[in-house]
Structure 1
Amino acid sequence: MTKPMRKLPEAAEAVPACRCIFLLLPTFSPLDLSSAVAALEAANSHDGTARYDWRVVSEEGLPATAPNGLRVAVDGGLPELPRGGMIFVCGGYGQEPGISLKVLGWLRKAQRLGLPVASLGGGIMALARAGLLSGRQASAHWAQRATLAEMHPDVEVKSSLFTIDGKLITCAGGTATVDMMLNLISDHHGPDVATAAADLMVCSSARKGSQGQTVSEFGRAGVRHEKLAAALGLMRSNLEEPLTPVRIADLVGLSVRQLERLLSKYLQTTPKVYYTKLRLDYARSLLLQTNMRIIDVALASGFNSQTHFAKVYRRYFGKSPHQERPF
């Protein structure tokens, strides 16, 4: 992947362009970066007007290598913050070890200067650690919502594609990046420019930011039974304090026996086994993405005993919670 810098058309150099800076964290997603830059370039291509220019930077100005091995040349290290510019922070979807005090200070300064700051995917972790999201709403990738909520309880974590809260923009990443960028382009330059950019990118239409990231429980579980889908949703929403099968069945208008039959028919499992799997998957995400103590992970995923949690975890994943940690 070559440096995503573009020379502005000479005929349009007099038009003030929004200066966008893309900061690549060590775990950045190439998909998020390329999607965002492609949208800006498409907006510029609409009528030859240079509405945006951009720079891609890393903390120290060194080439950045994504987790998938893709190496990206950058335009330098952290620059002076541009007036009238916009900051995009690109992160990944796992533990983010590389957010330094220097980066956090740079982001805080951007906020003090009144610059719009956006996170793509895991870049939200940098915004949260810098304190930019305190008391705010924010959209996080589904794999990081639980981690963000545990580590930053002062942030209202949403499951939507993206959230625009004043000059703070948070996006789940992936294909949601295109939706967010097209919405920003529409806000900046009107729907005609955004539609032209979408057409150039062969994007039928931009989804609303409020739309959910993942499929419904129907699609997730591969079933078309409304009450079973509702029961699965209740399990997913109550991991720290698990509901009893009796309570779940009562809330969705089933008997326990009916709930058991439906899970057996559609998912070949039992309520207990399915619920335990959800809680263990949640615990694993906390172990991989946070520095929480093992006992705190156990409690957050509905286990009252660290010993019991470790025993169940090993039986399910083949390793202990301590062995699961990447650090």
Structure 2
Amino acid sequence: MKNVTLLLYDGFSNMVLSCLLEPLRAVRDQGAGGLSWRIVTPDDGPARSSSGLNISPDTAIADCDRCDLLIVVTGYGYREHARPERLAPLRRLTRGARAIVGADTGSWLLAAAGLLDDQGATIHWAVLAEFAEAFPQVQPSDARFVRGRRVSTCGGASTALELMLAIISEQFGPADAFLVSTMFVHDAERQQRSGRGANWLVGKGTARLREIVNLMVETIETPLPLEELARRAGLTRRTLNRLFQAELAMSPGRYYQLMRLTHARELASGTDYDLGEIALRCGYANASALSRAFRLAFGHPIRKARGSRPRQRES
């Protein structure tokens, strides 16, 4: 995925837009070369959000060529936007899109354009019943988001973020998805004390999983062997692995490592610690070990996170 087009309609939610766009920005900043996006509107003029914020398009729809992902974002006013005579800009863009996302009430427009016939879809929970009644050819779902072969749908802001994380994991790998998920709530100096950050990923998980992740947070400077982690949780190593695979789609060792490396990145970008100190605070023996692990996980050196700070030599 390289080129993303966001089609904004009047009445869109600023929060939904942020939850769709900021994850892409975070992936780009982590070194996803060539990832870009543009904002367009159906009439080529500014789109006005539900809170009165005007956003101008980057280009005219007539000048848009193909894109890897088209994201259709609308909130209030979706019935008017979905009138047949107003669907031409949407149809033009969908013809050139490899994949499509309908966010908030964007699913209504996609259904009106016939793009959701005979497939599952969801929409903002407040209009789900009406959506099912208006489009009997669509299979309505109360899932937080629905992935399709070409068209995916989600509801409000939190579900938009979850869908984007799923897309990022698929397109760029779980390491980038993990890093993006933590950027919204991660504070390098207070993370371990507050219990926020990496364990945000398991907000819907079981109490046992939260307990294990909290233990990982508490031991981030001196990581426990997985056998000991399982023993403290009252599980076998095999059960521990099944739990993480079922709820997070990754092994406990991988999750533990990503938690430590994410913390290292935040310390690198948000503090004056040298890499040796950062390594010790994240459970690595030295700066060289941290640098190797970081590059293997994220595909670029940790020094990219240091911004304009003086850089220490890495091996």
Global fold match (TM > 0.5): yes
Q: Assess, with a 3 A threshold, how the Cα gap between structure 1 residues 103 and 187 changes in structure 2: closer, same or farther.
A: farther
Aligned letter for 1:25? Y
Map of 2:178 onto structure 1 = 195
* Matches for 1:308-319 after TM superposition, within 5 Å: none
Matches within 5 A, 1:283-322: none
The answer for the alignment partner of 1:128 in structure 2 is 111
Is the CA contact (8 Å cut-off) linking 2:7 and 2:41 kept in structure 1?
A: yes
The answer to whether 1:61 aligns with 2:44 is: yes
Q: Please report how far the alpha carbon of residue 166 of structure 1 lies from its aligned counterpart in structure 2 after TM superposition.
A: 0.7
Question: How many angstroms apart in 1 are the aligned matches of 2:7 and 2:139?
Answer: 24
Partner of 1:32: 16
Matched residue, 2:66: 83
User: Does the 8 Å CA contact 2:69/2:97 hold for their aligned counterparts?
Assistant: no
Query: Structure 2: how far apart are the matches of 1:165 and 1:71?
Result: 31
Match of 1:49 among 13, 19, 32: 32
Gaps of 5+ in 1: 1-16, 209-327
SS class of match (2:102): strand
Select which of 100, 104, 118 maps to 2:101: 118
Distance in 2, matches of 1:124 and 1:206, equals 27
Whole-angstrom distance in 2 between the partners of 1:141 and 1:206? 23
Residue of structure 2 equivalent to 1:277? none
1:105 to partner: Cα distance:
3.3
1: CA distance, partners of 2:34 / 2:85 = 30
Query: How large is the RMSD of aligned CA atoms in angstroms?
Result: 2.3
Whole-Å separation in 1 of the counterparts to 2:166 and 2:181: 10
Q: Distance in 2 between matches of 1:44 and 1:109?
A: 27
1: CA distance between counterparts of 2:57 and 2:202? 29
Higher helix share: 2
Shift in Å at residue 18 of structure 1? Answer: 1.5
Q: Does 1:170 align with 2:168?
A: no
Equivalent pair of 2:10/2:76 in contact (CA under 8 Å): no
Cα offset, 1:206, TM superposition? 7.3
Tell me if structure 2 keeps the 8 A contact 1:179–1:207: no
Letter in 2 for 1:205: L
Shift of the alpha carbon at 1:112? 4.5
- Contact kept? 2:6, 2:72, Cα under 8 Å: yes
> For residue 4 of structure 1, what is the aligned residue in structure 2?
none
2:7 is aligned with 1:23: yes
Identical columns (%): 29
**Structure 1 pair 103/97, CA: closer, same or farther in 2 (3 Å)?**
closer
The question of whether the paired residues in 2 share the 8 Å contact of 1:24 and 1:56 is answered with yes
Distance 1:79 1:53, change over 3 A: farther
Q: Contact 2:7 / 2:71 at 8 angstroms: preserved in 1?
A: yes
Amino acid at match of 2:28: N
Contact 1:26 1:96 in 2 (8 A): no
In structure 2, how many angstroms separate the alpha carbons of the residues matched to 1:158 and 1:93? 21
Task: Tell me which amino acid in the other structure corresponds to 1:165.
Answer: G
**Pairwise CA distance, 1:121:** 0.3
Partners of 1:32 and 1:173 within 8 A in 2: yes
**Corresponding pairs, count:** 191
Q: Aligned runs of 1:91-102 on 2, under 5 Å?
A: 91-93=74-76, 95-99=78-82, 101=84
Whether contact under 8 Å (2:8, 2:47) holds in the other structure is: yes
Alpha-carbon separation, structure 1, partners of 2:61 and 2:50: 21
CA distance in 2, matches of 1:55, 1:207: 32
Corresponding residue SS for 2:25: helix
What's the TM-score once normalised by structure 1's chain length?
0.54
Could you tell me whether the CA contact under 8 Å between 2:14 and 2:50 is conserved in 1? no
8 Å CA contact 1:94, 1:144 repeated in 2:
no
Q: Is the 8 A contact 2:65 2:96 kept in 1?
A: no
Gaps of 5+ in 2: 186-196, 205-315
Inter-CA distance 76–69: structure 2 relative to 1 (3 Å threshold): same
What is the letter of the counterpart of residue 75 of structure 1?
D
Distance 1:180 1:161 in 2: 8
Structure 1 residue aligned with 2:293: none
Counterpart of 1:96 in 2: which secondary structure?
helix
Name the CA distance, whole Å, in 2 between partners of 1:120 and 1:64.
Answer: 16
